Structure 1
Amino acid sequence: MRKRISTPGGLTFAVLALALTLGAAPAKAFFGLGSKHAAVRPQGDAVRIPLAEINDGAAHFYELSDGGKGIRFFVVQSRDGVVRAAFDACDVCYHSRKGYTQDGAQMVCVNCSQRFDVARVNEVKGGCNPAPLERRVDGDTLSIPLAALRAGANFF
């Protein structure tokens, strides 16, 4: 009789190593390694983010937990100095739940690889463009109305 040796730990390690190598954010979250989305909580009727946290030209990803649903979005300051915000989803690919990643001055749909100039976020909507999110600058804080975030909950 042949004895079978099981190595579930080795297989788990191989799958984890592959996921990390490929940069698969959903796989990282599945394995308990966190998410690219920082948790935010509403303050009154809005989510408020200090401008000093987001004024570096990099896309910053957030998630609001609302009624058991995670509403994901990103904020980025374009080269023209405008702070922009969009859901981490689009009208076309939202079912994949993959969202966007940033490549220099472009946001890239992780599902279909379409590229969008950061300066067009909040300016162009529809199709695979990042779904715009209402926002306003109040002094040294970016405010995103809770109602606007909830309006996009269907993406998630």
Structure 2
Amino acid sequence: MVGCSSSSKESAANNSSEASTSSNSSKNSDSSSSNKESKSADSKAATTDIVPGIEINKADISTTAKFYPYEADGIKMEVLALKAKDGTIRTALNTCQVCYASGKGYYVQEGDELVCQNCGNRFASNMVGKTKGGCNPVPISDTSKVDDGSKITIDKNYLDKNKAYFSNWKA
């Protein structure tokens, strides 16, 4: 069994930051205001114009973790979602950032904790989506999902970029 250690390779894929949209500034002061409005609109579009990969109905989420399957280039993946004690809905890839290469670095819920099936690390469900690095579920950043009030849509491009975490997955 592969154990979690700080010397383990921590990332299967470089989690590149989302590409930001920018407009070229004009030297003309009249068009400067127009460019500012365009930048603001582009920024909003970059946040909401994601390619749907997984859609999660928020009404279906409770304190019991739900698991959503996804497939990228023949690699089976999973996203977990649950409601934290503070009422917020948390999402993460259902794989451990350290143990993923073992094929058993995924989580099963036991009470209010998620337990890594490779090393046994216990992770408070309240921390899903908040803690990055170590033996924790891979968080899904706000830039990789959209919450429209009734559903959460996770970006297909984000999921596809992170398929390496699941290449040995045996869940």
Instruction: Note if contact 2:123-2:136 (Cα within 8 Å) is conserved in structure 1.
Output: yes
State the shift of 1:44 in Å.
Answer: 4.9
Take 2:110 and 2:139, find their aligned partners in 1: how far apart are those partners? Answer: 19
Q: Which has the higher contact order (CA 8 A, sep 6+)?
A: 2
Distance (whole Å) between structure 2 residues aligned to residue 121 and residue 136 of structure 1: 17
The runs of at least 4 consecutive aligned structure 1 residues that moved more than 6 Å come to none
Specify the alignment match of 2:66 in structure 1: 60
Residue 149 of structure 2: aligned partner: 139
Q: Is 1:45–2:52 an aligned residue pair?
A: yes
Identity %: 35
CA RMSD of aligned residues (A): 1.7
In 1, are the aligned partners of 2:54 and 2:153 still within 8 Å (CA)?
Answer: yes
User: Match for 2:162 among 122, 136, 152?
Assistant: 152
Gaps of 5+ in 2: 1-49, 167-171
C-alpha separation between the residues in 2 aligned to 1:77 and 1:136? Answer: 16
Work out whether 1:69 is the aligned partner of 2:75.
yes
Q: 1:80 to 1:136 in 2, by over 3 A?
A: farther
CA distance in 2, matches of 1:152, 1:90: 12
Is 1:97 the counterpart of 2:103? The answer is yes
Normalising by structure 2, report the TM-score.
Answer: 0.61
Query: Does the 8 Å CA contact 1:102/1:108 hold for their aligned counterparts?
Result: yes
- Following superposition, the deviation at residue 82 of structure 1 comes to 1.0
How far the C-alpha of 1:74 sits from its partner, in A, is: 0.8
Q: Provide the C-alpha distance between the structure 2 equivalents of 1:82 and 1:105, rounded to a whole number of angstroms.
A: 15
- For normalisation by structure 1, the TM-score amounts to 0.66
Give the unaligned 5+ runs of structure 1: 1-42
Residues paired across the two proteins, number:
113
How far apart are the structure 1 equivalents of 2:102 and 2:79? 15
Helix, strand or coil: the match of 1:89? strand
Distance 1:140 1:89 in 2: 26
